[in-house]
Structure 1
Amino acid sequence: MSETNRFQIANLGKPNYKSPLQLSTVRGDHIFNFVKESDKLVFDLSLDSYASCLSNGEEPQCLEKAGPRQDIFFKPEDTTAAIVTCGGLCPGINNVIRGVVMALHYFYGIKRIIGIPYGYEGLNPEMGHELIELTPDKVKDIHQFGGTFLGSSRGGQDVSTMVDTLESNHVNMLFAIGGDGTLKGVDAIGEEIKKRSADISVVGIPKTIDNDIDLIDESFGFETAFDVASPIIRDAHNEAAGAFNGISIVKLMGRDSGFIAASAALAMPVVNFVLIPEMDFQLEGELGFLGVLKKRLQQKKHAVIVVAEGAGQQLFEDQNRVQDASGNIKHADIGIFLKDKIKEYFTETPVTIKYIDPSYIVRSAPANSSDSVYCSRLAYHAVHGAMAGKTQFVSCKVNNKFVYIPIKEVTKKRKKIDLESEFWFSVLQSTGQPFLLK
């Protein structure tokens, strides 16, 4: 491959040990084969990209295929692993923790696995959190519950201090489960490790309920999120339809991207309006949201509105936003704002408004079956990559294939809904709302 491949994964060094996995290198023997370093997958599958590479004599940008390698970097009996979970809660975190522990212990025979409590705080001794010894017996049932067995926190700690803690505990690999901020944090840890020429692999497993990690197909927990939201929307519809000019507003998570709101509306097609951060909509005017809502009530006598938490922030007069510990802008409450504006608008028309905010119920739910499968596979691939000595990468799925991508590539920007995409068009077809609300 060309040295200019943006998806080249960093490696700690030459892998000098043979994998304990009894896998094959021969096709046709009905045993799974080790993945070779030469196994690559083309990133951009479009015909235009293919034609461009042909005409310019360039190699396409390729991704490393995830999976177990025949040669590994770490000697299993001398290896210590650590797991940390950071940021907001999300369905499936415990599934990933369990998957990593089981893979390390049973696949590779690693006996010492440390749980870092309460996010990156656990890597700062001054915070007073004691490290947790993780064993298969301790984690065997945690997948049945939502939240995180290890606890979480927002915000970073001093990078040098965190690496000191890893080194003092003889940690050889760190698995960080989290979103954009967590991944940037573990990448910074990887950079400090590189400066010290230490042999510690750092791996990210992308977790964000908003599904806003760039490049990857989907972050774990996202599918459970709109699965859990669907019956809530169904019940909101029952409330709205049960009253003359009934209006139900359901606020779902989605700080900068509206994937949960949009997907939940498609999954439970009783929604009439979906408002997301990617939209620049207005309230006033005949073509504004309130005017279109009025027409809906005149025709159908009820309406269901699903709004993402980050939608409509341009409507607030005070644009001086404070940040949370993770550096995210704290948004004003669009749900309450909409409820009040709708009430003000319909002073001469009787309306019944029900406002529902199930955000913390949704994010605290245990993973559904589909997400459970996904979490286990992400965990296994993360372990295989770390054992091979790969570092500063995420285990993820792209173009429906499990691959490794450098952390820096997925944290350059947030993934957002393309308002000209077929996906968003499907949402508009389901709701019947106009392309523009302004």
Structure 2
Amino acid sequence: MATTGESNEENSTGKIVARDDGYVLEDVPHFLDYIPNAKTYRNPLQDNPAYAVVKQYFVDSDDTVAQKVVVHKDSPRGIHFRRAGPSQRVYFESDDVHACIVTCGGLCPGLNTVIREIVCGLCHMYGVKRVVGIDGGYRGFYSRNTIPLNPKVVNNIHKRGGTIIGTSRGGHDTKKIVDCIQDRGINQVYIIGGDGTQKGAAVIFEEIRRRGLKVAVAGIPKTIDNDIPVIDKSFGFDSAVEEAQRAINAAHVEAESTENGIGLVKLMGRYSGFIAMYATLASRDVDCCLIPESPFYLEGKGGLFEYIEKRLKENGHMVIVIAEGAGQELLPGSLKSTDQRDASGNNLLQDVGIWLSQKIKDHFSKQKKIGQQKMAICLKYIDPTYMIRAIPSNASDNVYCTLLAQSAVHGAMAGHTGFTVASVNGRHAYIPFHCITEKQNKVVITDRMWARLLSSTHQPSFLTPRV
């Protein structure tokens, strides 16, 4: 119910509750929005001895999570999200649940852990007996083949990389997918994927709501690049940063073992440079980090070539980390002049690592030809992209994946739908799809973290005008 000074608004993007003090709740849809007579049942967790000892285990319907925790004292209270967790009343009886899980897009550490914990959460916490995996991404809905999942099947999958139910890009046909959900009697759909996948999940939810089906649609956001907004981080990111250290360490060993050695490592980061930035900060062996958010140039004063020469003269070697989306505007036939996309709708990037390594070699070869002091270099290029994507998640990500999966299960059982789940300022929350799909999370180069990186690498900002 609205209180004094409170307004409620519902539109195509979600439910919004706003108060005069600036408090805004970006709420998620619920069965009661379009099935007003939906029955509720006592949450079986109330009889589970494992949770009986936890006081205040169930969330209050008025509990919310603030999007921003650092605010000026005179600022309005800002945007909040519904806190994730189990409710005392649920909208499914255990025997009536028929859940499915689908993974879409590229691989990412932690996919199998999320699958495992959704299955175990449904079965162990709520007594669900029917859970299936959709084989091979969205297009798997069109197939009659599903993969039966139970705690025994998924017991050890968190120790493996990849996804046991397969994945693919594209293949989204809303009508066919919802027809399949309806025909098979599925009433809980767990969709694991990136921003494109979550956009697809939002469309699936809208069609389910239009048909008036009692089907919960829950998303778990996945992107190894950490480029989803609002949330603290995406699962698999910590594992990726940790695994990237192996490539950087190898590049450093190669570089320092030869005169004027250069180690060049290309890391993931199509539009956002978080992996490159955090891997650089974690390593402390990197002399230059290049990301999409910070344009750079090669020639002239303050350019990359000048810095490489300076670093080699000082240290005799250097390590460069470059995100895959950095410097694309410098490549011939750049993205601005091509419309090629993959099945997920992402721009196809040219290999900036190969391009940059050749440009560096050409620069030092040209020095010799024009009579400058010869500086022979030895450059080694390392691209660990697929090695990083394919690893199992580390301990930190395993815990995070567990909490994400259990929060998604609690939300679906409580009748919430059309939501994604993630950590916001250290607290798990239910977030409307539109909040994470309307823009991308990017490194802010005026932020303290980027300043820390510049202080660590001593690289130029590349803001000096070219001459």
TM-score in same-fold range (> 0.5): yes
Q: 1:167/1:31 Cα in 2 relative to 1: closer, same or farther (>3 Å)?
A: same
Structure 2 counterparts to residues 30-429 of structure 1, below 5 A: 30-48=54-72, 51-53=74-76, 60-125=78-143, 130-319=145-334, 320-321=337-338, 322-347=340-365, 348=368, 349-429=375-455
Cα displacement string for residues 245-272 of structure 1 (whole angstroms, at most 9, x for unaligned residues)? 0001000111100001111111111000
> Could you tell me the TM-score, scaled by structure 2's length?
0.89
Please state if 1:12 is matched with 2:36. Answer: no
**What SS does structure 2 have at the residue aligned with 1:10?**
coil
- Which whole-Å CA distance do the structure 1 matches of 2:282 and 2:53 have between them? 42
Cα displacement string for residues 367-406 of structure 1 (whole angstroms, at most 9, x for unaligned residues)? 0000000001110000000101111111100111111111
Q: Which 10-residue stretch deviates more, 116-125 or 314-323? A: 314-323
Q: How far off is 1:437 after superposition?
A: 5.7
What code does the residue aligned with 1:246 have?
G
What code does the residue aligned with 2:417 have?
T
Contact 1:15 1:71 in 2 (8 A): no
**What SS does structure 1 have at the residue aligned with 2:109?**
coil
- Which whole-Å CA distance do the structure 2 matches of 1:30 and 1:100 have between them? 21
Contact 1:94 1:145 in 2 (8 A): yes
What code does the residue aligned with 2:123 have?
H
Contact 1:245 1:301 in 2 (8 A): yes
What code does the residue aligned with 2:393 have?
A
Q: How far off is 1:15 after superposition?
A: 5.6
Q: How far off is 1:23 after superposition?
A: 6.9
- Which whole-Å CA distance do the structure 2 matches of 1:189 and 1:106 have between them? 28
Q: Any stretches of 5+ residues in structure 1 without a counterpart?
A: 54-58
Q: 1:120/1:437 Cα in 2 relative to 1: closer, same or farther (>3 Å)?
A: same
Contact 2:46 2:88 in 1 (8 A): no
Cα displacement string for residues 292-314 of structure 1 (whole angstroms, at most 9, x for unaligned residues)? 11111111111100000011001
Q: 1:35/1:23 Cα in 2 relative to 1: closer, same or farther (>3 Å)?
A: farther
- Which whole-Å CA distance do the structure 1 matches of 2:402 and 2:419 have between them? 17
What code does the residue aligned with 1:65 have?
R
Q: How far off is 1:36 after superposition?
A: 1.2
Q: How far off is 1:41 after superposition?
A: 2.2
- Which whole-Å CA distance do the structure 2 matches of 1:269 and 1:52 have between them? 38
Cα displacement string for residues 86-125 of structure 1 (whole angstroms, at most 9, x for unaligned residues)? 0000000000000000000110011100100110010123
Q: 1:15/1:288 Cα in 2 relative to 1: closer, same or farther (>3 Å)?
A: farther
Aligned pairs, how many?
426
Identity of aligned residues (%): 45
- Which whole-Å CA distance do the structure 1 matches of 2:47 and 2:445 have between them? 45
What code does the residue aligned with 2:154 have?
V
Contact 2:136 2:166 in 1 (8 A): yes
Q: Any stretches of 5+ residues in structure 2 without a counterpart?
A: 1-5, 9-15, 18-24, 33-37, 369-374
Contact 2:67 2:230 in 1 (8 A): no
> Could you tell me the TM-score, scaled by structure 1's length?
0.94
Q: Which 10-residue stretch deviates more, 285-294 or 246-255? A: 285-294
Contact 1:15 1:389 in 2 (8 A): no
Residue of structure 2 in register with 1:56 after alignment: none
What code does the residue aligned with 2:105 have?
G
Cα displacement string for residues 69-90 of structure 1 (whole angstroms, at most 9, x for unaligned residues)? 0011112211100000000000
What code does the residue aligned with 1:52 have?
S
- Which whole-Å CA distance do the structure 2 matches of 1:182 and 1:269 have between them? 35
What code does the residue aligned with 2:359 have?
K
Q: How far off is 1:156 after superposition?
A: 3.4
What code does the residue aligned with 1:398 have?
V
Contact 2:259 2:377 in 1 (8 A): yes
**What SS does structure 1 have at the residue aligned with 2:107?**
coil
What code does the residue aligned with 1:286 have?
K
Q: How far off is 1:2 after superposition?
A: 4.2
What code does the residue aligned with 1:383 have?
V
**What SS does structure 2 have at the residue aligned with 1:346?**
helix
- Which whole-Å CA distance do the structure 2 matches of 1:174 and 1:351 have between them? 55
Contact 1:272 1:304 in 2 (8 A): yes
Structure 1 consecutive aligned stretches of length 4 or more whose deviation exceeds 3 Å: 28-32
- Which whole-Å CA distance do the structure 1 matches of 2:409 and 2:71 have between them? 34
**What SS does structure 1 have at the residue aligned with 2:249?**
helix
**What SS does structure 2 have at the residue aligned with 1:305?**
strand
Contact 1:23 1:32 in 2 (8 A): no
What code does the residue aligned with 2:434 have?
K
